[in-house]
Amino acid sequence: MRGFWRKFKVVRGALIFTCFYLSGGFYGLVVLPLLSLFRRDPLERMRKNNITVANAFCGILDILRWARIFTFDPRKVVKKLPDRPCIIIANHPTTI
């Protein structure tokens, strides 16, 4: 029975990451260009697009937690980040 749940987890992960990549294409080809049409100021357009992409990533992380693919909680990491600007790099989509 344990092998079934492991295979089921692999299938869930594959479906979720397929949706992740398809939604990335959808956002890049449809959502972000549509948002850009309604903003004249380049700085405001960039801010709105950044907020939209950040919310989309939060949604993906919530779906991954809901599907029990992983249990990463960014709220715990934020407390450990320095007060100054820093760069956090994910070297592979599975380390988002």
Read off the pTM: 0.63
Alpha-helix runs per DSSP H in the chain: 2-26, 32-37, 42-66, 74-78
- Tell me the average pLDDT across 65-71: 76
Average pLDDT of span 59-84 = 75
pLDDT band of 29, cuts 50, 70, 90:
very high
The predicted pLDDT at position 87 comes to 77
Q: Give burial (CB, 10 Å; 0-12/13-18/19+) of 64.
A: buried
